[in-house]
Amino acid sequence: MPRYSTLDQLQLKVLTKAAALVTAPANQREVFDQFVMEVVAVADLTPHLRRVTFRADGFADFRPTGPDECFGLVMPPPGRPLTMPDEDRVNVRTAIRALPEADRPDLRWYTVRAHRPEAREIDVDFVLHGDAGPGTRWATRAEVGQSVGFRAGNSGYRPPSGGAVLLVADETALPALAAIVEAGAPADARIFAEVPSEEYRVAFDAPVTWLCRGDDAPGSHVLPAVAALPGPAPDYAWVCGESALATGVRRHLVKERGVDRRSVMFSGYWKLGSARV
Ligand SMILES: Cc1cc2nc3c(=O)[nH]c(=O)nc-3n(C[C@H](O)[C@H](O)[C@H](O)COP(=O)(O)OP(=O)(O)OC[C@H]3O[C@@H](n4cnc5c(N)ncnc54)[C@H](O)[C@@H]3O)c2cc1C
């Protein structure tokens, strides 16, 4: 069990409080489990989405905080063994920076698409986007038997018990959206998914409005679709995907539809043109 310093705990509290001023409250965790996991299966769901199944004893007791649970994938630098960051630090980036440069692992955030504690497994669905960064590079070459690190995160979906719900995702947030729908999103939730092309579509057990953006900027198709929604504004919105998409939809809801900013959970899962470090 990690031991966090008083300073680390204070930092976490301040960050959580600051976030709660501008966004809907996330589901928090007190202990960020960390362990090494092994790849036990790799399968392509679509030409651009790869499911990797990981196994570790730590998944038997792991408790997700919500359906869109995210975690930090800790990847060894090319050609080096995996060095895990100090688990006693709350801030995993600080812990990674403290390691010698040659051993410093890469870290990227992904969603726990499914958790099977009895099998000690999780499934993670990776959007493959070439060799542009360590996350996609790793996923493109993932093989059974490889070891990488798991660092627990938290989850954002936390709607009120009643009211109209809006869910907006791009391709990187489809795993989270699918997990939310499976966990029981309201039957009348309005759901939008903006993806680069038809090839990114996955099956959903709920009516989803699909929008293909082609070469247009992320958010440029879903924002007008959300703006054109008739009727009263949603009581709660979950908006995740590329940064401009997430902030654009959130801005529209708050500034033009009068939705309380603390009723909009939004997260820039990636940023066009920049690494998510
Ligand atoms: C809470 C959370 C949950 C997430 N869950 C998932 C998930 O389940 N599955 C998933 O695939 N991603 C998920 N992401 C997004 C993922 O972390 C980012 O796409 C991340 O940038 C990938 O890292 P990378 O090393 O491949 O690219 P980076 O090194 O971060 O970026 C390198 C370049 O690639 C570009 N880039 C990054 N992502 C994409 C993309 N998807 N398509 C096109 N260009 C891109 C960047 O703009 C940059 O120019 C999640 C992010 C967060 C914060």
CATH number, domain of 169, equals: 3.40.50.80
Among protein residues, the one whose CA lies closest to atom 3 of ligand 1: 110
CB-defined site of ligand 1, < 6 Å: 70, 108-111, 125-127, 129, 132-136, 172, 175, 267, 269-276
pLDDT at residue 210 above 90? yes
Q: Are residues 147 and 173 in the same domain?
A: no
List the CATH number of the domain containing 88: 2.40.30.10
What mean pLDDT do residues 65-81 have? 96
Question: Does residue 1 lie within any of the structural domains?
Answer: no
Within a domain: residue 39? yes
Q: How many whole angstroms separate alpha carbon 79 and alpha carbon 14? A: 38
Domain presence at residue 49 = yes
Alpha helices in the chain (DSSP H): 6-22, 92-97, 134-140, 174-184, 222-227, 243-251
**What per-residue confidence (pLDDT) applies to 174?**
98
Atom of ligand 1 minimally distant from the CA of 171:
41
The answer to whether position 64 is within a domain reads yes
11 and 148 inside one domain: yes
Residue-range definition of the domain harbouring residue 249: 165-270
* Residue 244 one-letter amino acid: A
Residue 178 lies inside a defined structural domain of this protein: yes
- Ligand 1 centroid–CA 33 distance in Å is 22
pLDDT in tens, 132-166: 999 999 999 999 999 999 999 999 999 999 999 99
Ligand 1 center to 11 CA (angstroms)? 26
Q: Quick check: is 159 in a domain?
A: no
Q: Which of 123, 270, 274 to mutate to test the pocket of ligand 1 (most atoms within 8 A of CB)?
A: 270
Taking alpha carbons only, the member of 11, 156, 147 closest to residue 70 is: 156
Instruction: Please give the torsion angle defined by the CA atoms of residues 186, 217, 129 and 81, in that order, rounded to the nearest 10 degrees.
Output: -80
Place of tokens 């995993």: 92
170 and 147 together in one domain:
no
User: Which position has the token pair 């038809």?
Assistant: 198
- The verdict on 208 and 172 lying in the same domain is yes
For ligand 1, atom 7, the nearest C-alpha belongs to 110
Same domain, 114 and 11: yes
What is the model's pLDDT at position 8?
85
Residue 38 belongs to some domain of the structure: yes
The number of the ligand 1 atom at minimal distance from the alpha carbon of 113 is: 8
144 shares a domain with 35: yes
In order of 79, 91, 180, the CA distances from 110 in angstroms are 23, 17, 15
Whole-number Å distance between alpha carbons of 260 and 241: 20
Point out the ligand 1 atom lying closest to the alpha carbon of residue 108: 17
* pLDDT at 198 exceeding the cut of 90: yes
- Which residue did the predictor score with more confidence, 28 or 218? 218
pLDDT interval class at 268 (50, 70, 90):
very high
Predicted confidence at residue 21, as pLDDT, reads 86
Number of domains forming the structure of the chain:
2
The amino acid that residue 112 corresponds to is V
CA distances to 109, 195, 254 from 219, rounded to whole Å, are 21, 9, 16
In degrees, rounded to 5, the angle at the alpha carbon of residue 220 between the alpha carbons of residues 217 and 226 is: 155
User: 223 — phi, psi (to 5°)?
Assistant: -60, -50
Q: How far, in Å, from the CA of 109 to the mean position of ligand 1?
A: 8
Q: Could you tell which of 136, 138, 141 is best to mutate to test the pocket of ligand 1, judged by most ligand atoms within 8 Å of the CB?
A: 136
Ligand 1 center from residue 261 Cα (angstroms):
25
Indicate the pTM of the whole model.
0.97
Distance of CA 191 from the midpoint of ligand 1 (Å):
21
The verdict on residue 240 lying in a domain is: yes
Question: What is the C-alpha separation between 213 and 198, in angstroms, rounded?
Answer: 10
Q: Judging by beta carbons within 10 Å of its beta carbon (0-12, 13-18, 19+), is residue 85 exposed, middle or buried?
A: buried
Mean pLDDT of the chain: 95
* Distance from C-alpha of 216 to C-alpha of 184, rounded to nearest angstrom: 32
Nearest atom in ligand 1 to 136's CA: 26
30 and 146 co-located in one domain: yes
Same domain, 141 and 21: yes
**Alpha-carbon gap, residue 211 to 171, rounded angstroms:** 11
Q: How confident is the model at residue 239 (pLDDT cuts 50, 70, 90)?
A: very high
Confidence band (pLDDT; 50, 70, 90) for 17? confident
Q: Which of 152, 184, 213 is the last residue of a domain?
A: 152
**Token pair 């975690």: residue:** 71
pLDDT digits (tens, 9 = 90+) for 22-59: 899 999 998 999 999 999 999 999 999 999 999 999 99
Q: How far is the CA of 276 from the centre of ligand 1 (A)?
A: 7
Q: Verify that 92 and 188 share a domain, yes or no.
A: no
